[in-house]
Structure 1
Amino acid sequence: MLLRLADERATGALLRDHGTLYLVDGLVVHAESPSAPGIDVLLTAGGRLARSGWEEAVDQAGARREVGRYLVDSGRIGGGELEICHLGALFDAAFFALAPGSGPTRFRYGVAHWMGTVRPVAAAAVERETLRRRELLDQVWPYAAVDTAPVVARGPAPGQLVTRRQRALLELADGVRTPAAIAWTLGRPAFHTLLDVRRLAAAGLVDTPDEPVTTSPGTVPSWVATLSADPDIALLRRLRDALEASL
């Protein structure tokens, strides 16, 4: 449907359960998703733009749908920096909005976003990048449970190095926060946070919280019999821990 709307040079909002894409003359000009921090979070969380400056831009230019232009014209942010940040937010939100199983797709003609046009992107490029990101996640760690579940940090092995970026994420992996919540807290794109979490999972540094397991010495829990041909990685880790405890 996105590509058909692009061929029609349609203007409006493509709505799905996990996000919305805004088109002008068939080009994607903005995207937002409840799963991804918006451009306001990306700009303000790291201190690049004061929250009051963002709110002023929305108040002064939101009704005219020129928030992006106001930020640049008022000198609060450079044009190139705004484009880079906006593209990051656009591709990030589009990844979730275009996810398989995101519910019915609807299009409302004529709807425009208050951000205004910053850097339009071809619909085919958005689709291509979304597919590339999905494939990349599966290549790094093919178990999607860590994408949506609360994650908990695991101690590094002797000699295992952790980067500053990874350490900041691990400090928030408390068994309560999901990767999306961590992304919002850090002010990072949600996809990049998912990618970092999957890399940490592959390195054994992050996991989904385990439920308490009680076993008698030398026995294997009864839930081992529920393993299927496509087991959940957290289940495998519970099995490993139970076996180690029985040795």
Structure 2
Amino acid sequence: MPIDDVLSELAESRATGALKAGRSGTVYLSRGRVCYVECARTPTVEELLTASGRLTLSGMRTARQTAAATADGGDLLVRRGVLSRGELQLCVLGATLDASFFLFGANVPKPKFREGDRHWLGIHWFFDVPGLFRECHRRRARLDRAWPSAELDSRPVVPVRRIRSQHVVLTALQWEILLNADAETTPAELAKRIGRPAYTTLLAVREMAAAGLLECPEPPPPEKPPDLPKRVAGSAPRAAAGAGGRARSSYPEISGDPTDVNLLIRLRNALEAFQ
């Protein structure tokens, strides 16, 4: 069952809790609005903070244990000076949009909704469900404009050994991707390694592919046209079939109508008179 349908129903009923999509991810709602999304394919807020060096793994575990009673670990991180309120909101915004793009649209055998469940970070941003769907469509269209094939999404990132141009301009993210690409890691795995959102990493990979900086799969060969039937030497070409299914001759059709016969006789007599 598509998770989008279940999520739309929960939004209409103004539900509060967690919609678990198996091992793929979890959507947290508050009164019908999405407040956070986790996806197995994208970095979480915790992974983004630890990969960027803002928080250590032990510090993250301590924060989660301390916030277990209040379920507002984000506010705890702000009070401790780990990050500002605006940085926390921006981090939640980016992680939620990132996870929504890869989670929404997936078919989940048995999505389960647990009423009342909350994420340990608490609520620091609200997302309208139809608005999230529109944003996912917009992001998909942007990916297709950059590189209209999804084959690179699951393939290891392999830089080319030689570029065709003399000068190349890279963004900071593209430079990080090239430095960490080892011909074995996919874009999603690279995103978690360097602590970047999976969508922006994937978009950068497609843009580099379009610029000729990455090894790309070769396009499939064009389909071979079907062979024409061989003509046997000495045989006459077949006549085309008419509307009734019978073979159509190159000669004019002859009917037994007396009017047609009389007309032909008069034409013959007129031609003989001029001879």
TM-score by length of 2: 0.71
Query: Is it true that 1:75 corresponds to 2:49 in the alignment?
Result: no
Aligned to 1:124: 130
For the 8 Å contact 1:19–1:94, the answer to whether it is kept is no
Aligned to 2:145: 139
Distance 2:144 2:98 in 1: 17
Query: 1:158–1:113: structure 2 CA closer, same or farther, 3 Å change rule?
Result: same
Aligned to 2:13: 8
Aligned to 1:166: 174
Displacement of 1:34 after TM fit? 1.0
Displacement of 1:224 after TM fit? 4.3
Query: Is it true that 1:95 corresponds to 2:101 in the alignment?
Result: yes
SS at match of 1:206: coil
Distance 2:147 2:108 in 1: 22
Distance 1:225 1:6 in 2: 47
Most deviating of 50-59 and 102-111: 102-111
Amino acid at match of 1:5: L
For the 8 Å contact 1:146–1:207, the answer to whether it is kept is no
For the 8 Å contact 2:209–2:216, the answer to whether it is kept is no
Query: 1:62–1:159: structure 2 CA closer, same or farther, 3 Å change rule?
Result: farther
Displacement of 1:165 after TM fit? 2.8
Distance 2:223 2:110 in 1: 33
CA displacement, residues 207-242 of structure 1 (integer Å, 9 cap, x when unaligned): 3578xxxxxxxxxxxx84779xxxxxxxxxxxxxxx
Query: 1:176–1:8: structure 2 CA closer, same or farther, 3 Å change rule?
Result: same
Amino acid at match of 1:7: E
Aligned-pair identity (%) = 41
Distance 1:63 1:99 in 2: 34
Displacement of 1:53 after TM fit? 2.9
Aligned to 2:193: 185
Q: 1:157 aligns with which of 164, 168, 179?
A: 164
Query: Is it true that 1:204 corresponds to 2:209 in the alignment?
Result: no
Most deviating of 163-172 and 134-143: 163-172
SS at match of 2:26: strand
For the 8 Å contact 1:67–1:114, the answer to whether it is kept is yes
Q: Which runs of 5+ in 1 are unaligned?
A: 211-222, 228-247
Query: 1:69–1:20: structure 2 CA closer, same or farther, 3 Å change rule?
Result: same
Query: 1:103–1:225: structure 2 CA closer, same or farther, 3 Å change rule?
Result: farther
Displacement of 1:101 after TM fit? 4.5
CA displacement, residues 56-93 of structure 1 (integer Å, 9 cap, x when unaligned): 21121034311111111222211111000111011111
Query: Is it true that 1:44 corresponds to 2:47 in the alignment?
Result: no
Amino acid at match of 2:21: R
For the 8 Å contact 1:37–1:190, the answer to whether it is kept is yes
Displacement of 1:179 after TM fit? 0.3
Amino acid at match of 1:199: E
User: How many pairs are equivalent?
Assistant: 215
Distance 1:149 1:156 in 2: 20
What is the alpha-carbon root mean square deviation over aligned residues?
Answer: 2.2
Distance 1:54 1:48 in 2: 10
SS at match of 2:180: coil
SS at match of 1:14: strand
Distance 2:129 2:176 in 1: 34
Query: 1:205–1:75: structure 2 CA closer, same or farther, 3 Å change rule?
Result: same
Query: 1:226–1:33: structure 2 CA closer, same or farther, 3 Å change rule?
Result: farther
Q: Which runs of 5+ in 2 are unaligned?
A: 1-5, 225-275
Query: Is it true that 1:195 corresponds to 2:203 in the alignment?
Result: yes
For the 8 Å contact 1:12–1:112, the answer to whether it is kept is yes
Displacement of 1:161 after TM fit? 0.7
TM-score by length of 1: 0.79
Larger radius of gyration: 2
